[in-house]
DNA sequence: GGGCAGGTCTAAG
DNA sequence: CTTAGACCTGCC
């Protein structure tokens, strides 16, 4: 089978897929991971050398290099945090984290689904939506479907989404957001280039997108590493490790952006993984 | 069984 | 501008 062997440091599939950024991966018994993105299915094998199986060089060049953020120097990134003794154990714990660059529409919808939800249920819903509205992906591993385009999901029925994909009260938000995106109501260039506050505001035009989801989308799909998504876990971790007290989620986000600057999103990922895996602040 | 989970929306102060 | 309550669903 075709494969790409990566010459990278700071790449641990477990860290990457379990730090809360992606929902379409599946762990195999041997510890490797299947991942669906960009209409492809690959197997990711970690270790001293990282292997992308079922990937050819073209896909590597045009998809995976960017998807896995392979052109970023993570050693330098970590080094730039070296003055922060609080962050240090978190970085060591999640040393193989990389912030993925995911597809915008899929990221928007999956994080709308993530609101007040649990990871296994989010994953089930996303898989189900793909099998209902996506296209079949031929691959050597399993039945897999691409995530549908906005034009398709815009025509879906909320009732079906609720009944079969089990998305609950997020049903209409998904369809309405898809319609707005299909109709060009969201200016992606603002999301990419405008100051972070404007980008957040643009994204929050969508139903189901509040501050937290907006920050996730900007970080995980638009390379906006100055955004600092605050969920219950990050709130707990930040309050326990940095703030030493209780403040609102918006204040935590403000604090994070100020504290970590352009690299806030990376700090968030290390802290999230560290905090969640160790039940910090609970 | 009531509580809770990777928030958002709405209606109020 | 900040805050309480409701909200699908599934599992403990």
Bases along strand C below 7 A from a protein CB: 2-3, 7-11
Nearest to A99 by CA among A229, A275, A2: A229
- Over range A142-158, report the average pLDDT: 97
pLDDT at A279: 83
pLDDT at A280: 84
The dihedral formed by the CA atoms of A72, A75, A79 and A82, expressed in degrees to the nearest 10: 120
pLDDT tens for A92-110 read 999 999 999 999 999 999 9
Q: Which nucleotide is nearest to A234 (CA to C1')?
A: B6
Residue nearest to nucleotide C9 (CA to C1'): A168
Q: Is the pLDDT of residue A154 over 90?
A: yes
The answer to whether the beta carbon of residue A62 comes closer than 7 angstroms to any atom of strand C is no
Q: Is the pLDDT of residue A146 over 90?
A: yes
Taking the complete model, does pTM exceed 0.85, yes or no? yes
Residues in chain A: 282
The helix/strand/coil state of A53 is strand
Residues with CB under 7 A from strand B: A 19-21, 114-119, 122, 169, 173, 204, 206-214, 229, 231-233, 272
Q: What is the mean pLDDT of chain A?
A: 96
Bases along strand B below 7 A from a protein CB: 5-9
Q: Is the pLDDT of residue A282 over 80?
A: no
């Amino acid at each position: 089978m075709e494969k790409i062997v990566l010459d990278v440091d700071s790449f641990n599939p477990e860290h990457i897929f379990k730090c809360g950024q992606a929902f379409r991966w599946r762990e195999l018994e041997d510890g490797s991971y299947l991942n669906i993105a960009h209409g492809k299915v690959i197997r990711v094998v970690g270790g001293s050398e990282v292997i992308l199986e079922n990937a050819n060089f073209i896909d590597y060049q045009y998809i995976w290099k960017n998807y896995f953020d392979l052109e970023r120097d993570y050693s330098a990134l970590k080094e730039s945090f070296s003055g922060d003794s609080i962050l240090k154990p978190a970085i060591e714990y999640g040393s193989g984290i990389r912030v993925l660059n995911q597809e915008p529409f899929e990221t928007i919808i999956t994080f709308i689904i993530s609101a007040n939800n649990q990871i296994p249920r989010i994953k089930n819903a996303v898989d189900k939506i793909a099998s209902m509205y996506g296209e079949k992906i031929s691959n050597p591993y399993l039945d897999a479907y691409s995530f549908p385009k906005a034009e398709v999901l815009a025509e879906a029925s909320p009732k079906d989404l609720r009944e079969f994909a089990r998305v609950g009260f997020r049903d209409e938000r998904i369809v309405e957001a898809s319609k707005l995106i299909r109709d060009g109501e969201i200016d992606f260039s603002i999301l990419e280039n405008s100051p972070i506050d404007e980008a957040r505001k643009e994204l929050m035009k969508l139903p189901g997108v509040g501050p937290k989801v907006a920050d996730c989308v900007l970080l995980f799909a638009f390379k906006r590493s100055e955004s600092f998504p605050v969920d219950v876990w990050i709130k707990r971790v930040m309050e326990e490790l940095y703030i030493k007290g209780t403040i609102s989620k918006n204040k935590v986000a403000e604090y994070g952006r100020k504290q970590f600057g352009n690299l806030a999103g990376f700090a968030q990922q290390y802290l999230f993984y560290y905090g969640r895996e160790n039940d910090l602040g609970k």
